[in-house]
Amino acid sequence: MGVTLRPGRLLYEGKAKRVLDAGDGRAVMEFKDGVTAFDGRRRDPAPGKGEAAARLSARMFELLEEHGVRTHYICYMGGSRILVERHEVAPLEVIVRNYAYGSMVRRMPFLKPMARLSRPLVELHLKDDERGDPLLLPEDVVEAGLLSWSELDALRSLALRVDAVLESFWRRRGLRLIDFKIEVARTPRGFVVVDEVSGDTMRLVDAEGRHLDKELYRRGGSVEELVEAYRELARLAGAPERLCGE
């Protein structure tokens, strides 16, 4: 079945992506050739990053769907674009951690970076850049009317399922999944995983402890190294199988 796309109105433009309306409840997600860190204070053009992140995200969504996780992904359009369903995204960031790192170590200095957690940890943060995406208690989420207690349980199970799928996938490819962030939309049929799953949203290290994710750039690595790492992730993950228009 061919995908006919009308020229799209810009729905959203962020630091790493542009989202364009594609009609019929769909949107084109275009990954940019740029990288930013430290709230945009470090910023560089990164030719090739958009395509590597789009291909990896497409493969990750296909993998999740193969394991029964609903996502917004429809198909890979080639280049740096994927076609997705349009959903209203919950104002939450769902983070799952297998090892202590980043903001977890900053808030709990008793933990050393890369300490293996006894069980995966699920965190909810409010998506609010001005407030620095604060960590929320389950009670905060329920009292604010964002989710019910049973939805919180469902979201937690979903996050742990996504972790199990991604963790085992990358382990088989010789990489450790430290942590990742997903975003979700609430629908009458339950949660749908939206946004992206790429080196911008997962921390992955090899046997030598080398990062293949955005941490490389945060630590002062070059753009070329970063793009090469994203391409390596995309190669390891394999090519997207669901191509638009086939």
Q: Which residues bind ligand TYD (CB under 6 A)?
A: 93, 95, 101-104, 133, 179-181, 200-203
In the three-class reduction of DSSP (H, G, I as helix; E, B as strand; rest coil), residue 154 is classed as helix
Q: Which residues contact 149 (CB under 8 A, 6 or more apart)?
A: 138, 142
Give the residue with the Cβ less far from ligand TYD, 94 or 223: 94
The length of the chain, given as a count of residues: 246
Residue pointed to by tokens 């497409």 = 58
Q: What is the smallest separation between the CB atom of 199 and ligand TYD, expressed in angstroms?
A: 9
- CB 93, min distance to ligand TYD, A: 6
Residue 193 host element (H or E)? strand 190-194
| 22 versus 52: smaller Cβ distance to ligand TYD | 52
Q: Which is nearer to ligand TYD, 106 or 172 (CB)?
A: 106
Measured from the CB of residue 38, what is the shortest distance to ligand TYD in angstroms? 9
Q: Which is nearer to ligand TYD, 22 or 159 (CB)?
A: 159
CB 92 within 8 A of CB 128: no
- Asked if residue 137 lies in contact with residue 123, where contact means CB atoms within 8 angstroms, the answer is no
Supply the minimum distance, in Å, between the C-beta of residue 150 and ligand TYD.
25
CB of 222 to ligand TYD, least distance (A): 19
Q: How far is the CB of 46 from ligand TYD (least distance, A)?
A: 16
Closer to ligand TYD at the Cβ: 158 or 202?
A: 202
Shortest distance in whole angstroms from residue 21 CB to ligand TYD:
24
Which residue's CB is nearer to ligand TYD, number 3 or number 37? 37
**70/181 with CB nearer ligand TYD:** 181
Phi/psi for 153 (5° steps) reads -60, -45
Which residues lie closer than 8 Å to 193 by C-beta, 6 or more apart? 61, 64, 69, 70, 71, 72, 158, 162, 182, 183, 184
Q: What does DSSP assign to residue 221? A: -
Q: Which residue is nearest to ligand TYD (CB)?
A: 102
Pick from 194, 214, 223: nearest CA to 74: 194
3-state helix, strand, coil in the chain (%, to 5): 30, 35, 35
- One-letter amino acid for residue 195 of the chain: D
R_g of the chain, CA atoms, integer Å: 17
| Coil, strand or helix at 225 | helix
